[in-house]
């Protein structure tokens, strides 16, 4: 395999443009197109679907995943062989959901950030979709609610994340003074992350038999912002206990449905052939999560 061709593939996909990829590699746009064509001739099928945005075929995904794995291992090898030299930052791409990022992931990874030359690239996605980023080679590791891992990767159990329904004391008094009834839920405004975040709708459906659309729901693409919306008394929300705990202790939020929690199992998925700093990241994430999350 000619890695010059795979370098061109990575540049086109990361830049989402043949022109910008050519500029990144300091070659002409014609040369970029020619390298992609050579790669497609080599594997006897297309590797890029020329849509907007550009996407990879199944073979293209496998090639890009392989290239990124080799590039990361090569980078690690150079740093291991020449530790006395000024090391380049190692770019680490990880996929995780917004709740994980807002609650426990940063404390988990923080010790390594202080000791190693890591540059994080965090991809926030639904916990059911993070694995697709792993299979496409866009990330080296992912937090997922799915146990089964994708080809070339392994899965490790992290624990259970408990979700509880929270609101400010004032909000509870205004909307739920007579309890958390279906009629009250049809009126009280709620808040979740976005249309792809089904945790809130799943909870309301499982516990109160109300489907999405039968109750008002704000959408705010920031875990911190929708917590603040709840604290301000503008909505109730479903929060992981790890994120809600400090607000429950301070009294700014209360658990409005203590008899009903939602438990989600979480798993860490990463490449089988991880070495060096990648292996240390996996160990750090798994050990921290297992010590923190209920099981």
pLDDT tens, residue order, the chain (295 aa): 888 999 999 999 989 999 999 999 999 999 999 999 999 999 989 999 888 888 888 899 889 888 887 877 777 777 677 665 556 677 889 999 888 998 899 999 999 998 888 889 999 888 778 888 888 778 889 999 999 988 778 999 999 999 999 999 999 999 999 999 999 999 999 998 877 778 899 899 999 999 989 999 999 888 888 899 999 999 999 999 989 999 999 999 999 999 998 999 999 999 886 777 888 999 999 999 999 986 5
Give dist(CA 96, CA 292) in Å, integer.
17
pLDDT of residue 85: 57
3-state secondary structure of 141: strand
DSSP label at residue 126 = -
Give the pLDDT score at 266.
Answer: 94
Give dist(CA 66, CA 186) in Å, integer: 50
C-alpha to C-alpha distance for 170 and 234, rounded to whole angstroms: 10
CATH of domain 1-62: 1.10.10.10
Name the residue ranges covered by the structural domains of the chain.
1-62, 161-264
- The pLDDT of residue 195 is 72
Tokens representing 85 are: 């030299």
Query: Which class in CATH covers the domain with range 161-264?
Result: alpha beta
Q: Whole-prediction pTM value? A: 0.74
Instruction: Select from 90, 128, 78 the least CA-distant residue to 281.
Output: 90
Q: Same CATH fold, 161-264 and 1-62?
A: no
pLDDT for 129-156, tens place per residue?
A: 888 888 877 888 999 999 998 877 899 9
Helix (H, G, I), strand (E, B) or coil at 103: helix
How far, CA to CA in Å, does 82 sit from each of 77, 88, 114, 201? 9, 11, 20, 52
Token output for 222:
């920031």
pLDDT in tens, 167-219: 999 999 999 999 999 999 999 999 988 777 788 998 999 999 999 899 999 99
Nearest one of 68, 59, 54 to 19, comparing CA atoms: 54
């Amino acid at each position: 395999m000619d890695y010059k061709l795979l370098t061109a593939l990575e540049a086109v996909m990361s830049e989402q443009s043949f022109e910008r990829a050519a500029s990144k590699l300091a070659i002409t746009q014609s040369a970029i197109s020619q390298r992609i064509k050579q790669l497609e001739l080599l594997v006897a099928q297309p590797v890029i679907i020329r849509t907007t945005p550009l996407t990879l075929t199944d073979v293209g995904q496998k090639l890009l995943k392989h290239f990124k794995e080799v590039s990361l291992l090569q980078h690690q090898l150079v740093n291991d062989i020449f530790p006395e030299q000024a090391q380049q930052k190692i770019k680490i791409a990880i996929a995780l959901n917004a709740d994980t990022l807002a609650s426990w992931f940063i404390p988990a990874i923080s010790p390594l950030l202080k000791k190693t030359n890591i540059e994080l690239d965090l991809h926030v996605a639904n916990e059911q979709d993070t694995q697709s980023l792993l299979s496409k080679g866009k990330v080296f590791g992912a937090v997922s609610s799915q146990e089964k891992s994708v080809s070339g990767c392994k899965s490790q159990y992290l624990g259970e994340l408990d979700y509880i329904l929270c609101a400010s004391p004032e909000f509870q008094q205004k909307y739920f003074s007579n309890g958390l009834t279906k009629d009250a839920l049809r009126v009280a405004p709620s808040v979740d992350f976005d249309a792809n975040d089904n945790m809130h709708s799943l909870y309301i459906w499982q516990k109160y038999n109300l489907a999405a659309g039968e109750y008002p729901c704000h959408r705010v693409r920031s875990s911190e912002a929708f917590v603040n919306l709840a604290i301000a008394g503008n909505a109730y929300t479903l929060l992981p206990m790890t994120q809600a705990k400090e607000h429950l202790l301070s009294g700014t939020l209360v658990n409005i449905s203590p008899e009903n929690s939602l438990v989600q199992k979480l798993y860490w998925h990463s490449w089988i052939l991880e070495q060096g700093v990648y292996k240390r990241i996996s160990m750090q994430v798994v050990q921290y999560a297992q010590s923190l999350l209920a099981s």
